[in-house]
Structure 1
Amino acid sequence: MPKRFVVAASDFPDLPRFPVGFELAEALTVASQQLHEAPTPQGTLRTAARLAVHIMPGAEHAGVSEIERGNKLRSLVWTDEVVRSAEARHGGREQHGHWDQLWHSPVARITDSEAEDGWDVLSALGLRSALSLRLRSDRRRLTVLTAYARKPGVFDEAATRVGRLFTAHVSLALDSVTVREQLTEAMHTRDLIGQATGILMERQGIDAAAAFESLVRASQRENVKLRDIARRIVDTHNTS
């Protein structure tokens, strides 16, 4: 379960709020640096939500959600509980064109929750405007950043353009940290398999090829990933 966090202006002292003109380029540069400093994909998403309320004109709250086919929505990170409450109420219990639109378009907007059908939840929480921007997509799910405001009509075309520039930086940072995490995992897996192979060579008096084949056969026989078989052997060896 993602942890709650609260946005404070002091979190990002280098960022001008609601930047315009050359300030936008400067703000996006600072934001990009902070996004790329996050060590994990989850950390990148937390940073993105917190930055959104500084970068995107009119944004007061923000969150990142995952939407599966059928419009089942799951909140990943949020700036405060009002976002979590709003998205939890629309978390898969009903279809809605706003979320469906994001499968076909990178942007979906709510101009006024009190005037548009189906958004009683938002208006009850005092949220009148929303701007959803797609970060990632595949055949099964979307990752979406949504900014919220308490006034209607906040997210106009200019705010949407800023939002799309910002989410382009978020997507690049997310791809980068995901690749780093995958490479780290691959290196860890390689080292783990190497250790397990060495242990089997010593125990059974066999060469490296035979030891690796033994790992593969065990993986297939037990229908368990090779790295998990290797981890089990290494852990047993270290505790014996």
Structure 2
Amino acid sequence: MDLLGGQAQAGITIAHRERQVESIGATAELVRRGDELQAELGEGPCLDAAWDQEQVVVDDLAREARWPRWGPRMVQDFGVKSMLCTQLFTNEKQLGALNIYSTEPVAFDEEAQEVARLLAVHAAMAIAQAQQVEGLRFANDRRTTIGKALGIVMVTYDLDDAKAFDVLRRLSSHENRKLFDLAQDIINGRQAAPRPPQQ
């Protein structure tokens, strides 16, 4: 925000393929509310930047006709006068936008627009890395849960890991349940360790 001035406040919106939108960070309440209101009304510069345009510049929101429901509410409720929204490319399943709000009119000149483009590149890289780390953590948690359930079956019925896994896999298929969900129930005591088939 120090780079942009103009009483600027910023946030990041992620637009998922199903055209759902979520605000994943904001420097001020007016940004969070502005992003949420765009998602609620289905219109606004952040949505246009996320899906359709590389950058959307709004010099005077009070005179802007592109978002007839969203714009007047932001001017009246929060005193927002200008905006700069820059598209983020995060991955093939979702897009996003770096959204900068200002209470001053004509707050974002060509230099500010270029700074926003550079910041958007850094933000997109940070988001992609955070999502990758979260995905790895999620996969590791699932693997650990299944491993614990395997251990319970192995100890309960004196089986090696291959036979114990086969027991879990068969029960998962028979009950039409995901292996992870079955493993969680076994660990939490909501389901007894499944018996191996009789030889």
Q: Is the 8 A contact 2:15 2:94 kept in 1?
A: yes
Whether 2:155 is the aligned partner of 1:202: answer yes
The structure 1 segments of at least 4 consecutive aligned residues displaced by more than 6 Å after TM superposition are none
Q: Is the 8 A contact 1:59 1:147 kept in 2?
A: no
For normalisation by structure 1, the TM-score amounts to: 0.65
Question: Structure 1 residue 149: deviation in Å?
Answer: 0.6
Whether 2:25 is the aligned partner of 1:77: answer yes
Q: Is the 8 A contact 1:71 1:96 kept in 2?
A: no
The share of aligned pairs that are identical, in percent, is 29
Q: Is the 8 A contact 2:83 2:108 kept in 1?
A: yes
Whether 2:76 is the aligned partner of 1:128: answer no
Alignment-derived partner of residue 41 in structure 2: 93
Q: Aligned pairs, how many?
A: 185
Q: Is the 8 A contact 1:89 1:121 kept in 2?
A: no
Letter in 1 for 2:2: H
Alignment-derived partner of residue 146 in structure 2: 193
Question: Structure 1 residue 80: deviation in Å?
Answer: 2.2
CA 1:223/1:102 → structure 2, altered by over 3 Å: closer, same or farther? same
Letter in 1 for 2:86: L
Is there any run of 5+ residues in structure 1 with no aligned partner, and where? Answer: 1-52
Letter in 2 for 1:121: R
Q: Is the 8 A contact 1:108 1:132 kept in 2?
A: yes
Is there any run of 5+ residues in structure 2 with no aligned partner, and where? Answer: 191-199
CA 1:178/1:74 → structure 2, altered by over 3 Å: closer, same or farther? closer
CA deviations over 1:100-121 (Å, ceiling 9, x no partner): 3532333222121011112212
Q: CA RMSD in A?
A: 2.8
Alignment-derived partner of residue 44 in structure 1: none
CA 1:151/1:71 → structure 2, altered by over 3 Å: closer, same or farther? farther
Q: Is the 8 A contact 1:86 1:121 kept in 2?
A: no
Question: Structure 1 residue 194: deviation in Å?
Answer: 1.9
Alignment-derived partner of residue 168 in structure 2: 215
> Per the alignment, in what secondary structure is the counterpart of residue 39 of structure 2?
coil
Letter in 1 for 2:185: R
Is the radius of gyration larger for structure 1 or structure 2?
2
Inter-partner Cα distance in structure 2 for 1:71 and 1:178: 19
Whether 2:183 is the aligned partner of 1:230: answer yes
Alignment-derived partner of residue 41 in structure 1: none
Question: Structure 1 residue 137: deviation in Å?
Answer: 5.2
Question: Structure 1 residue 81: deviation in Å?
Answer: 2.2
For normalisation by structure 2, the TM-score amounts to: 0.76
Alignment-derived partner of residue 145 in structure 1: 98
Inter-partner Cα distance in structure 1 for 2:92 and 2:182: 31
Question: Structure 1 residue 226: deviation in Å?
Answer: 2.3
